């Protein structure tokens, strides 16, 4: 893998995207951008945009594709050309996935998309556990979040698969085992 590769984590809510992004960033020293963190920070702002983002987050809905694209491009343009980076939670809709593919091919940046595969039952178990400690309001609307996943994110994952940039990783193991599988898939020792 090239040192300036961009890695994207995709998967169901609770599949471990953020955990794996943090572990990979710790191992590589790469910048990590998490759409959920960016949107949650905006939701804390007492502005019309902040209130709308909070309302959508609390309902378990994905944010508009144009807003996610704006945050993605803003993050992308901040990355030095000889540096790798990690994106967690971006490209959850087909239009976003297509933009990721188009923008990175246009820039000539190598990239891979890691799909953390977990069952709905495992998602329910993990999010039930997480909502006891996280304070995240969207963990209380799991059914809506899974509906959003099947409606929007699953087709975006197929878009990446059709572009031959998708690698599936079993996301039902321990975080350490998943991290080892991620590093192996990326050729990182």
Q: Which segments of 108-173 does DSSP mark as H helices, in order?
A: 120-130, 142-148, 154-162
What would the mean pLDDT of 4-31 be, rounded to a whole number? 95
Q: Is position 1 within any domain?
A: no
Specify if 59 maps to a domain.
yes
Q: What is the pLDDT of residue 51?
A: 97
pLDDT classification of 2: cutoffs 50, 70, 90 = confident
Domain that holds residue 129: 6-186
pTM above 0.85, yes or no: yes
- Using DSSP's 3-state secondary structure scheme, residue 31 falls into strand
For 135-175, the pLDDT digits (tens) are 777 767 889 999 999 999 999 999 999 999 999 999 999 99
Q: Is the pLDDT of residue 89 over 90?
A: no
43 lies in some domain? yes
Rounded to 5 degrees, what are φ and ψ at 187?
A: 75, 30
Query: Is the residue at 33 inside a domain?
Result: yes
- pLDDT score at 186: 95
Q: Which of 125, 111, 117, 90 is nearest to 181 (CA)?
A: 117
Q: What is the CATH number of the domain that holds 64?
A: 3.40.50.300
Inside any domain, residue 83: yes
Q: How many domains does the chain have?
A: 1
* The pLDDT of residue 138: 72
Residue 41 maps to a domain: yes
Tens of pLDDT, residues 48-85:
999 999 999 999 888 998 999 999 999 999 999 899 99
pLDDT at 134: 79
Write out pLDDT tens, residues 100-143.
999 999 999 999 999 999 999 999 999 888 888 877 777 678 89
């Amino acid at each position: 893998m090239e040192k300036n590769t961009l890695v994207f984590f995709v998967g169901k809510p609770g599949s471990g995207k953020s955990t794996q992004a943090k572990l990979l960033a710790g191992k590589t020293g790469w910048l990590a951008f998490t759409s959920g963190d960016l949107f949650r920070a905006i939701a804390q702002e007492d502005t019309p945009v902040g209130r709308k983002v909070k309302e959508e987050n609390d309902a378990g809905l994905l944010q508009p594709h144009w807003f996610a694209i704006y945050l993605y491009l803003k993050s992308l343009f901040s990355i030095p050309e000889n540096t790798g980076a990690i994106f967690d939670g971006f490209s959850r809709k087909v239009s976003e996935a297509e933009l990721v593919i188009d923008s990175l091919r246009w820039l000539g940046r190598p990239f891979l998309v890691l799909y953390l595969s977990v069952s709905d039952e495992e998602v329910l178990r993990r999010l039930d556990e997480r909502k006891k400690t996280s304070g995240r309001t969207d963990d209380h609307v799991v059914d809506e979040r899974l509906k959003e996943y099947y409606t929007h994110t699953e087709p975006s994952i197929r878009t990446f698969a059709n572009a031959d940039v998708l690698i599936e990783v079993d996301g039902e193991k321990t975080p350490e085992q998943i991290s080892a599988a991620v590093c192996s898939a990326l050729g990182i020792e």
